[in-house]
Amino acid sequence: MNGKRILVTGGAGFIGSNLSNGLAAENEVIALDNCYLGTPENLDDDVIFAEADVLDEGLPTDVDAVFHLAALSSREMLEENPREGARVNIEGFVNVVEQAMADGCETFVYATTSSIYGSQTDPCTEKMPVEASTGYDASMMARERYAEYYSDFHDLSLAGMRFFSVYQGYGGNEAHKGEYANTVSQFADQIANGESPVLWGDGSQTRDFTHVSDIVRGLELAAEKQLDGIYNLGVGNPYTFNEMVEMINDELGADVEPVYEPVPLENYVYHTHADPSKFKAATGWEPEISFEEGMSMVCEPYKEQEKSEEEKERLTE
């Protein structure tokens, strides 16, 4: 995309800031965020930051395209405050679409979730049954149904992207998420500091880890093609948590053993596995960052820090 005026809600968050920064090179980008889960420190200088809430009136929706990423994005948040979660995730979505539609915008790309597939070892297609095992799942499914309504009755293009385990690492724009960051980032930071990561069960659960740069390219393509409907956005090559921990240790030259604890949740998702063939066919998208390369990128800041500390010690001897 180039020469467009674009709104990114949740634009100072992890995925949103990566998207905003990337788009700002050739577009006028407004990153809207209430700073609950995002920080403007993630944004480049050429991004216009607007501190506002998706439930507000008078949003800057006079744009060519909207990327709606704002959400209370974890099951814990909605378990603690289900009413607020529903308002932000559902009413906030409707509010943004209504205001943008009134301003003449017809292109929307929005975040939904792959967790509605439940625990699946086989590749998940968009035609598979979905279920609301958590309040978060229910809110994202409602978002998809509202998008279907706006597409059918208002002739808008709304592409719902079901993300699969997006990561970047604390060396990127994920650090502010802390305990809500992807397990890749949390485990890498713990192992780099000599701490044992806690794995639920026996560590054999799998995730279809997808680097944020591949997610950002997918979001841009969805808007460029003005896609409508639901699309998986994931690599399609899951790894176990045990494999992930082993890879982090290898990258960092460490030997930190994980601690295994019983799974504390009744409806825990043990496995995720994307089938991104529908999105590939529609856009030509292919993931460019393998998990091995992504793990190297996540661990590189820790390795550079270690080299710097070793150099300081050498100079002071």
DSSP state of 252: H
Q: How many CB atoms lie within 10 A of CB 1?
A: 16
Cα–Cα distance measured from residue 146 to residue 154, given in angstroms and rounded to the nearest whole number:
11
Among the listed residues 215, 206, 280, 272, the one whose alpha carbon sits nearest the alpha carbon of residue 243? 206
The verdict on residue 316 lying in a domain is no
Residue 199 has a pLDDT of 97
- Structurally, the chain folds into a number of domains equal to 1
The verdict on residue 306 lying in a domain is no
Q: How many CB atoms lie within 10 A of CB 146?
A: 18
Cα–Cα distance measured from residue 232 to residue 225, given in angstroms and rounded to the nearest whole number:
15
The verdict on residue 281 lying in a domain is yes
Contacts of 307 (CB under 8 A, 6+ apart): none
- Inter-residue contact 161 to 108 (CB < 8 Å): no
Residue 266 has a pLDDT of 84
Residue 1 has a pLDDT of 84
The verdict on residue 186 lying in a domain is no
Residue pLDDT tens, the chain, 317 long: 899 999 999 999 999 999 999 999 999 999 999 999 899 999 999 999 999 999 999 999 999 999 999 999 888 888 889 999 999 999 999 999 999 999 999 999 999 999 999 999 999 999 999 999 999 999 999 999 999 999 999 999 999 999 999 999 999 999 888 888 999 999 999 999 999 999 999 999 999 999 999 999 999 999 999 999 999 999 999 999 999 999 999 999 999 999 999 999 888 999 999 999 999 999 999 999 999 999 999 999 999 987 777 777 767 76
Residue 230 has a pLDDT of 98
Burial of 119 (0-12, 13-18, 19+ CB in 10 A): middle
The verdict on residue 178 lying in a domain is no
User: In degrees to the nearest 10, what's the CA dihedral of 194, 172, 233, 225?
Assistant: -170
CATH number of the domain that residue 232 is part of: 3.40.50.720
**Crossing angle for the helix pair 291-316 and 183-192, nearest 10 degrees?**
30
Cα–Cα distance measured from residue 75 to residue 65, given in angstroms and rounded to the nearest whole number:
28
Place of tokens 């995720």: 272
Residue 70 has a pLDDT of 97
Cα–Cα distance measured from residue 258 to residue 267, given in angstroms and rounded to the nearest whole number:
23
Bridging pattern class, strands 206-207 and 239-240: antiparallel
Residue 71 has a pLDDT of 95
The verdict on residue 46 lying in a domain is yes
The verdict on residue 216 lying in a domain is yes
- Inter-residue contact 90 to 78 (CB < 8 Å): no
In terms of residue numbers, what domain contains 71? Answer: 5-168+209-236+270-289
Between the alpha carbon of residue 292 and those of residues 244, 246, 296, the distances in Å are 9, 11, 6
The verdict on residue 47 lying in a domain is yes
